[in-house]
Amino acid sequence: MKKINEKEYVLRQSIIDAALALEKKKLNQCKSGNISIRWKDGLLITPSGIAYNKLKPEDIVFVDKNKKHYGKWKPSSETPFHFDILKSKKEINVVIHTHSPYGTGLSILGKPIPCFHYMIAFFGGDTVPCAKFAPPGSQELSDNAVKALKKYKACLLANHGVIVTGSDLEEALILTEELEVLCQQITIAKINGTPKLVGKKDMQKIIEAVKTYGKQ
């Protein structure tokens, strides 16, 4: 394996730190889920089947533009959709996949998350879509995820989990946590009755406002 330079080492460590943070917040468990960051002509991604608390920077796997991987471990089995999402969305540099309890719970319904709360707008539209089910690690699942994420920053994976993207790791982590909170909220609402949705016109105004949120 080639010597890791300082910039790459920091990125690799940031992936591990993010994975541990997700586990601490119970958004992933032990070996579930995966994280990738765009790097050079490919991506850096968590390896397959290794507990987060055992990961070291050299364990993170580099996958090049030809899908060839480098390192002592195999890349995550979900590398296909990480690779294809980063390839299809140039504005995105980070992909996070979780098996978070509430998000995964909603994914089992196989339906998009509707605009029950204005915060849905932060994910790119008036809904969070749900990609059709396909076997984990398959090209079909990748194709379904890319299609679902075409206009959005996140999607559910039917009967599987959640994908969240971001321009950087900070944004992706914030959105991952926010999406789980929204999934928890709508679950509570469904238990107590039928959720009322924010009107389409109001959501469009909010979606436009979100585009300049936090910017000067």
Is 78 catalytic? The answer is: yes
Please state, for a pLDDT cut of 70, what percent of the chain lies above it.
Answer: 98
Neighbours of 4 (CB within 10 A): 16
pTM attached to this predicted model: 0.95
pLDDT computed for residue 140 by the predictor: 98
Instruction: Give residue 30's region: left, alpha or beta (phi > 0; psi -120 to 50).
Output: left
Per-residue pLDDT at 121 exceeds 90: yes
Please tell me the number of Cα atoms within 13 Å of 214 on its side-chain side. 3
Kindly tell me the burial class for residue 98, based on how many C-beta atoms sit within 10 Å of its own C-beta (0-12, 13-18, 19 or more): buried
pLDDT computed for residue 30 by the predictor: 78
pLDDT computed for residue 216 by the predictor: 55
- Tell the CATH topology of 6-210: L-fuculose-1-phosphate Aldolase (3.40.225)
Query: Do residues 159 and 107 touch, judged by C-beta distance below 8 A?
Result: yes
| Span 106-118, average pLDDT | 97
Any idea where the domains of the chain sit in the sequence? 6-210
Given the residues 6, 23, 78, 177, the one annotated as active site? 78
Distance CA 135, CA 202 (A): 37
Per-residue pLDDT at 196 exceeds 60: yes
Per-residue pLDDT at 3 exceeds 80: no
Backbone angles phi, psi at 61, to 5 degrees: -105, 135
> Could you give the dihedral angle defined by the CA atoms of residues 89, 91, 97 and 103, in that order, rounded to the nearest 10 degrees?
-100
Strand pairing category for 42-45 and 94-98? unpaired
DSSP 3: P
Residues 124-145 pLDDT 10s: 999 999 999 999 999 999 999 9
Reported confidence tier of residue 29, pLDDT bands at 50, 70, 90: confident
Reported confidence tier of residue 1, pLDDT bands at 50, 70, 90: low
3-state class (DSSP) for residue 169: helix
Residues 42-90 pLDDT 10s: 999 999 989 999 999 999 999 999 999 998 899 999 999 999 999 999 9
pLDDT computed for residue 211 by the predictor: 85
| Span 177-187, average pLDDT | 98
Average per-residue pLDDT for the chain: 95
